[in-house]
């Protein structure tokens, strides 16, 4: 594990990896040549693919009771070894076998029921951000508290307020439970829907592959450079809505920066009014927001953390605008 991480470190050049890419013609294919990292992550073996996750919204199952919608999901904590970079295997803790966990999506005012099954060898919870009673907060010692291996509980509350939220485990040592992969985005759509858009999920994370409480890898949706290898395809003129959540552990701050354009920024997605038209936002852990943008012209436009170290260690990608 340590050797793999050290290898990754040594392979990352201190120049701009995308410049090398621009000179590489024709493009050799998925996973080749970015930032000097050889080979590709086996997404199929991991059981999830950042190219699917970026547009994957889990609406759960619904039924009606007493005139209102009950929306239900099941989240299972599972210990999984995940290839987080070519040849770098990480002993992860996951919700439903993937990192980030499913992007749970619902509508304002619905009743939500999340069955949590702990299939991991370690105690865990799910702590949701948003409005809910204390006993549904998913923290040790309150309500169902810590869920032991083999245990289960149901978190139930109303979908409030409309906005972009998140969920994560809240068992100590908290930094480790989050850094191992137990988190996901949670979106409550406003009762009056937002404008139709091409919607994306971007959970900014990282991995401490040698257990020194510092990250060796950074990414959006887990796999470093995934969207450099295969850009996120969007269409010129379309409204693109990015749901950006920062769950990065160990580093005090993360950021999102877009090239060649500016976006409307809606912090926490709780207001219909943008706070700013910008190309860079800084986020501490747990901070999130909705970014809306239209690309007027086709081309490749980069997005990345505006911390160069994070960028070089994997947190960068491209939009391919056609």
Q: Which is nearer to Cu ion, 145 or 299 (CB)?
A: 145
Nearest-approach distance from CB 171 to Cu ion, in angstroms: 4
Question: Among the candidate windows 149-157, 177-185, 240-248, 262-270, which touches Cu ion by CB under 5 A?
Answer: 177-185
Give me the helices (H) in the chain, please. 2-11, 17-23, 43-46, 50-53, 174-179, 226-229, 308-312
Q: Which is nearer to Cu ion, 27 or 172 (CB)?
A: 172
Nearest-approach distance from CB 37 to Cu ion, in angstroms: 29
Nearest-approach distance from CB 76 to Cu ion, in angstroms: 13
Nearest-approach distance from CB 273 to Cu ion, in angstroms: 25
C-alpha closest to that of 83 among 255, 219, 266: 219
Cα separation, 143 vs 156, in Å, equals 11
Nearest-approach distance from CB 124 to Cu ion, in angstroms: 3
The footprint of Cu ion on residues 48-87 (CB under 5 A) is: none
DSSP symbol at 58: B
Nearest-approach distance from CB 182 to Cu ion, in angstroms: 5
Q: Between β-strands 299-304 and 254-258, what pairing exists: parallel, antiparallel or unpaired?
A: antiparallel
CB atoms inside a 10 Å sphere around CB 263: 25
Cα separation, 11 vs 113, in Å, equals 45
Cα separation, 23 vs 194, in Å, equals 41
Question: Among the candidate windows 10-18, 103-111, 279-287, 309-317, which touches Cu ion by CB under 5 A?
Answer: 279-287
Length in residues, the chain:
322
Identified binder of Cu ion from the candidate list 177, 230, 241, 304, rule CB under 5 A: 177
**Cis check: omega of the bond before 5, within 30 degrees of 0:** no
283 binds Cu ion (CB under 5 A): no
Nearest-approach distance from CB 131 to Cu ion, in angstroms: 14
CA distances from 291 to 52, 144, 165 (A): 20, 36, 14
190 binds Cu ion (CB under 5 A): no
Q: Which is nearer to Cu ion, 121 or 154 (CB)?
A: 121
Q: If binding means CB under 5 A, how many residues of this protein chain bind Cu ion?
A: 5
Q: Which is nearer to Cu ion, 154 or 262 (CB)?
A: 154
Q: Which is nearer to Cu ion, 105 or 124 (CB)?
A: 124
The footprint of Cu ion on residues 104-143 (CB under 5 A) is: 124
Beta bridge partners of residue 117, listed in sequence order: 76, 152
Give me the helices (H) in 161-262, please. 174-179, 226-229
CB atoms inside a 10 Å sphere around CB 117: 16
286 binds Cu ion (CB under 5 A): yes
Identified binder of Cu ion from the candidate list 171, 178, 200, 247, rule CB under 5 A: 171
Q: Which is nearer to Cu ion, 267 or 286 (CB)?
A: 286
* Interface with Cu ion (CB under 5 A): 124, 169, 171, 177, 286
């Amino acid at each position: 594990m340590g050797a793999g991480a050290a290898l990754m470190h040594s392979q990352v050049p201190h120049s701009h990896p995308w410049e090398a890419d621009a000179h590489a013609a024709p493009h050799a294919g998925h996973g080749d040549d970015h930032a000097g990292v050889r080979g590709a992550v086996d997404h199929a073996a991991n059981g999830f693919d950042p190219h699917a996750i970026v547009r994957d919204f889990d609406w759960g199952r619904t039924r009606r009771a007493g005139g209102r919608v009950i929306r239900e999901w099941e989240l299972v904590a599972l210990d999984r070894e995940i290839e987080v970079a070519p040849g770098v295997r990480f002993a992860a803790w996951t919700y439903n076998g993937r990192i980030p966990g499913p992007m749970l999506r619902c509508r304002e005012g619905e009743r939500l029921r999340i069955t949590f099954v702990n299939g991991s060898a370690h105690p865990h919870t799910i702590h949701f951000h948003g409005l809910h009673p204390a006993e549904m907060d998913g923290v040790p010692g309150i309500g169902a508290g810590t869920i032991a291996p083999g245990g289960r509980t149901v978190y139930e509350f109303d979908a409030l307020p409309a906005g972009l939220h998140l969920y994560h485990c809240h068992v100590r040592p908290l930094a480790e439970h989050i850094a191992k992969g137990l988190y996901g985005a949670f979106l409550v759509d406003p009762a009056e829907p937002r404008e139709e858009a091409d919607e994306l999920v971007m959970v900014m994370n990282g991995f401490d592959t040698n257990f020194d409480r510092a990250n060796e890898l950074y990414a959006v949706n887990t796999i470093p450079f995934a969207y450099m290898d295969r850009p996120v395809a969007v269409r010129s003129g379309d409204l693109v809505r990015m749901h950006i959540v920062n769950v990065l552990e160990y580093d005090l701050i993360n950021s999102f920066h877009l090239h060649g354009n500016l976006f409307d920024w809606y912090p926490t997605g709780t207001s219909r009014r943008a706070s700013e038209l910008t190309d860079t936002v800084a986020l501490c852990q747990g901070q999130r927001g909705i970014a809306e943008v239209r690309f007027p012209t086709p081309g490749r436009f980069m997005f990345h953390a505006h911390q160069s170290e994070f960028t070089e260690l994997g947190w960068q990608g491209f939009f391919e605008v056609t």
